[in-house]
C-alpha cells in the first residue's frame, strides 16, 4: 500500500501507559453551547433550575448539531456569553452539589431500526471526538446506505504527546466493538478497517485478537507513524487506497471515518444511556509537573484538570487544546473542557515562543512534505499579492491545515497560517 507524504514528528507520548486519574467533581462547571460544527445549542434550562448528571441542558438549533448534557448535579447559577477559544457563546454555569445524582433521563436507548439508532446517536450528544467536532448523527445519516462500503476506525493518534485514544483502544475495547457492530448493523456496512500507527503495538494486538467479535469483514492496519496519518483523507488513502476528490466527503468514496473515542462513547451510551458528559484528556508539555491523563467532566476548567495532576511546573505561556501540530491555543486556563478535547499541551516560556521568521529560500521542503501535494511556497507568494486566481489554481481549498509545511520550513514561516488566510480570501470571508 502506498502512503502519502508527511513528517516524522517526535512522538513525545510519555503518558502512554499511565492510568487515567478521575478528577473530583469541580464546584462549578461552565458548559458552552458551542461544542460542535453547526449552529450553537439553545439552552433549555433557566437560572435557578436544579439539574442532574446526564440531563439535557442544550438543544441543537438545527439538524447539524448535537444536544448538550449536564456533567454534574446541582443548580444553574447563570447563563452568560463567555469568550471561548472559538468565539463568544452562551455558556451554562452550574454549581455542583457534589452528589452527582444521575438524571431519570439516563436510560439505555431502545433501538430496533436505523431511525431509532440515529436518534440514539443524536441523543447521546456525540460529535467527532478526533478534534473536528462534527455531529456524529449527521455523519451517519446517509442517503444511500448501499454506497457505504467501509467503516474506517481512526486509531492513528498521530499528534505528539496525546495518548487518550490509546487508552480508549486498550481499555474501552468492549464498548468500541459494541458500537462498531451497531454502526455496521444499522447503517448497513460490511467492511471495517481500524487504522493504528505502528507506535501503538499493544492496541494493534488487541484488535487483532478480538477480530472475530466484529460482525463484518474486519482488518487491522498497522500504519507508519507519519504525521498526519490520522487526517481523514490520509487515513482513507492509507486504509483503502481511495482518493477523496477535492471538495468531496469520505462518503463520496464509500467511506465513513469514526474516531476510536467517538465509538467508545457510543458503545457505553448504548449500554447505559449515559450521554457524552466527560472526557479522558492527556495533559502534557513542558509546563506540567506530572504529565498524565485525567477523566474530566465537560465544563471543568483547564486549571482544575492540571491541578488534579499536581499543577504546573513552571508558569504556563501557551495552552493548547489538543496536540502541538494542530492544537488551538486558548487565551486562558479558565477555559472549560469541551466535548472534542482529547488533551492539553501546556508549554513553558521557552517552548511557547515561536522562532523568528526569515526570508523564504525556496528550498522546497514544504512542497516535498505536503501530504496533499500542494505548494505552500507558491501559495505564500500568491497570498502576498492577494492573487485569488493564482490561489485557486494552486488548489488552496484542498489544504487540510495539518501544519507539515510550517513544521519543516527552515525560514520558520507560518505557512499553514498563510494557507488559512488564503482560504478565507478565496472563499470571500
Partner 1 sequence: MNENQLIVNFAPHIRSKVSTHTIMRDVIIALMPALVAAVINYGPYTLAIVAVSVAAAVVSEYLMEKIIKKKNTISDLSAVVTGIILAYCLPAGIPLWMAAFGSAVAIVIVKQFFGGIGQNFANPAATARIILFVSFAGPMTDWVTGYPDVVSGATPLATGTASYMDLFMGRIGGSLGETCKLAILIGLVYLLVRKIITWHTPVCFVGTVFVLSALAGTDPVYAILSGGVLFGAVFMATDYVTTPSTKLGRAIFGIGCGAITVLIRQFCNYPEGVSFAILLMNIMAPHIERWTSSKSFGGAKK
Question: What residues between 229 and 258 interact with partner 1 by CB under 8 A?
Answer: 233, 237, 243-246, 248
Q: Which of 2, 46, 144, 355 binds partner 1 (CB under 8 A)?
A: 355
Q: Which of 24, 99, 116, 362 binds partner 1 (CB under 8 A)?
A: 362
Which of positions 110-139 make contact with partner 1 (CB under 8 A)? none
Which of positions 335-354 make contact with partner 1 (CB under 8 A)? 345, 347, 351-354
User: Segment near partner 1 (CB under 8 A), from 69-77, 139-147, 198-206, 366-374?
Assistant: 366-374
Residue 311 near partner 1 by CB under 8 A: no
Q: Is 259 in contact with 151 (CB distance < 8 Å)?
A: no
Which of positions 373-412 make contact with partner 1 (CB under 8 A)? 373-375, 377-378, 393-395, 398, 401, 403, 406-412
Outline where DSSP puts E strands in 145-216. Answer: 150-155, 191-197
CA torsion sign, 61 to 62 to 65 to 67?
positive
The nearest distance, CB 304 to partner 1, in angstroms, is 13
User: 409 to each of 364, 366, 369, how far by Cα in Å?
Assistant: 9, 6, 10
What is the C-alpha to C-alpha distance for residues 144 and 137, in angstroms, rounded to an integer? Answer: 15
What is the C-alpha to C-alpha distance for residues 391 and 31, in angstroms, rounded to an integer? Answer: 39
User: Segment near partner 1 (CB under 8 A), from 4-12, 32-40, 128-136, 170-178?
Assistant: 4-12
The nearest distance, CB 105 to partner 1, in angstroms, is 36
C-alpha closest to that of 277 among 83, 48, 56, 20:
56
User: Segment near partner 1 (CB under 8 A), from 17-25, 45-53, 168-176, 416-424?
Assistant: 416-424
Task: CB nearer to partner 1: give 202 or 349.
Answer: 349
C-alpha closest to that of 254 among 129, 141, 144:
144
Q: Is 359 exposed, middle or buried (0-12, 13-18, 19+ CB in 10 A)?
A: exposed
Rg value, the chain, Cα: 21
**Maximal CA-CA distance, the chain:** 63
Task: CB nearer to partner 1: give 205 or 393.
Answer: 393
Residue 333 near partner 1 by CB under 8 A: yes
SS3 of residue 270 by DSSP = helix
Q: Which of 364, 386, 424, 427 binds partner 1 (CB under 8 A)?
A: 364
Q: Which of 119, 170, 317, 426 binds partner 1 (CB under 8 A)?
A: 317
The nearest distance, CB 242 to partner 1, in angstroms, is 10
Which of positions 197-236 make contact with partner 1 (CB under 8 A)? 233
* Per-residue cell: 167: 487508552
Residue 162 near partner 1 by CB under 8 A: no
What is the C-alpha to C-alpha distance for residues 380 and 265, in angstroms, rounded to an integer? Answer: 41
Task: CB nearer to partner 1: give 211 or 421.
Answer: 421
The nearest distance, CB 345 to partner 1, in angstroms, is 7
C-alpha closest to that of 167 among 203, 199, 196, 220:
203
The nearest distance, CB 230 to partner 1, in angstroms, is 15
The nearest distance, CB 416 to partner 1, in angstroms, is 7
* Alpha helices (H) in 98-161, listed in sequence order: 114-123, 136-140
Task: CB nearer to partner 1: give 4 or 180.
Answer: 4
The nearest distance, CB 324 to partner 1, in angstroms, is 4
Which of positions 9-28 make contact with partner 1 (CB under 8 A)? 9-10
Which of positions 35-94 make contact with partner 1 (CB under 8 A)? none
SS3 of residue 428 by DSSP = coil
Task: CB nearer to partner 1: give 61 or 328.
Answer: 328
Task: CB nearer to partner 1: give 273 or 323.
Answer: 323
SS3 of residue 311 by DSSP = coil
Side-chain half-sphere CA neighbours of 204 within 13 A: 15
* Per-residue cell: 40: 450553537
Residues forming a β-bridge with 76? 94
Interface with partner 1 (CB under 8 A), residue total: 71
The nearest distance, CB 396 to partner 1, in angstroms, is 9
Task: CB nearer to partner 1: give 210 or 303.
Answer: 303
Q: Is 294 in contact with 305 (CB distance < 8 Å)?
A: yes
Task: CB nearer to partner 1: give 73 or 238.
Answer: 238
C-alpha closest to that of 233 among 132, 340, 364, 342:
132
What DSSP element (H or E) covers 188?
A: none
Amino acid at each position: 500500500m502506498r502512503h502519502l507524504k508527511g513528517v516524522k514528528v517526535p512522538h513525545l507520548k510519555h503518558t502512554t501507559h499511565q492510568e487515567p486519574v478521575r478528577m473530583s467533581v469541580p464546584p462549578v462547571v461552565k458548559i458552552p453551547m458551542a461544542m460542535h460544527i453547526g449552529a450553537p445549542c439553545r439552552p433549555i434550562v433557566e437560572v435557578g433550575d436544579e439539574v442532574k448528571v446526564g440531563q439535557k441542558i442544550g438543544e441543537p438549533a438545527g439538524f447539524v448539531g448535537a444536544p448538550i448534557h449536564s456533567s454534574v448535579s446541582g443548580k444553574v447559577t447563570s447563563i452568560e456569553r463567555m469568550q471561548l477559544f472559538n468565539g463568544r457563546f452562551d455558556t451554562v454555569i452550574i454549581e455542583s452539589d457534589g452528589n452527582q445524582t444521575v438524571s431519570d433521563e439516563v436510560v439505555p436507548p431502545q433501538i430496533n431500526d436505523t431511525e431509532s439508532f440515529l436518534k440514539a446517536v443524536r441523543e447521546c450528544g456525540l460529535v467527532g471526538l478526533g478534534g473536528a467536532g462534527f455531529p456524529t448523527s449527521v455523519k451517519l445519516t446517509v442517503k444511500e446506505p448501499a454506497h457505504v462500503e467501509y467503516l474506517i476506525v481512526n486509531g492513528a493518534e498521530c499528534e505528539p504527546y496525546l495518548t487518550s485514544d490509546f487508552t480508549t483502544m486498550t481499555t474501552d475495547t468492549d464498548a468500541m466493538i459494541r458500537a462498531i457492530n451497531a454502526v455496521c448493523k444499522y447503517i448497513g456496512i460490511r467492511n471495517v478497517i481500524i487504522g493504528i500507527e505502528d507506535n501503538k503495538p499493544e492496541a494493534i494486538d488487541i484488535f487483532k485478537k478480538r477480530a472475530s467479535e466484529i460482525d463484518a469483514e474486519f482488518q487491522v492496519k498497522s500504519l507508519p507513524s507519519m504525521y498526519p496519518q490520522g487526517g481523514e483523507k490520509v487515513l482513507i488513502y492509507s486504509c483503502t487506497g481511495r482518493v477523496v476528490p477535492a471538495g468531496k466527503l469520505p462518503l463520496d468514496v464509500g467511506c465513513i471515518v469514526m474516531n476510536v473515542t467517538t465509538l467508545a462513547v457510543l458503545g457505553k451510551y448504548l449500554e447505559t444511556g449515559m450521554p457524552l458528559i466527560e472526557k479522558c484528556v492527556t495533559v502534557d508539555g513542558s509546563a506540567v509537573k506530572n504529565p498524565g491523563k485525567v477523566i474530566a467532566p465537560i465544563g471543568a476548567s483547564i486549571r482544575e484538570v492540571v491541578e488534579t495532576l499536581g499543577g504546573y511546573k513552571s508558569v504556563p505561556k501557551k495552552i493548547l487544546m489538543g496536540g502541538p501540530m494542530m492544537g488551538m491555543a486558548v487565551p486562558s486556563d479558565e477555559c472549560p473542557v469541551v466535548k472534542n478535547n482529547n488533551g492539553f499541551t501546556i508549554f513553558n516560556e521557552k517552548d511557547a515562543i515561536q522562532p523568528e521568521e526569515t526570508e523564504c529560500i525556496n528550498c522546497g521542503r514544504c512542497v516535498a512534505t505536503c501530504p496533499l501535494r500542494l505548494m505552500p511556497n507558491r501559495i505564500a507568494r500568491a497570498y502576498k499579492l492577494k492573487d485569488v486566481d493564482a490561489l485557486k489554481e494552486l488548489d488552496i481549498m484542498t489544504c487540510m491545515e495539518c501544519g507539515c509545511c510550517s513544521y519543516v520550513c527552515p525560514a520558520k514561516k507560518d505557512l499553514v497560517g498563510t494557507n488559512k488566510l488564503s482560504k478565507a480570501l478565496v472563499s470571500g470571508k
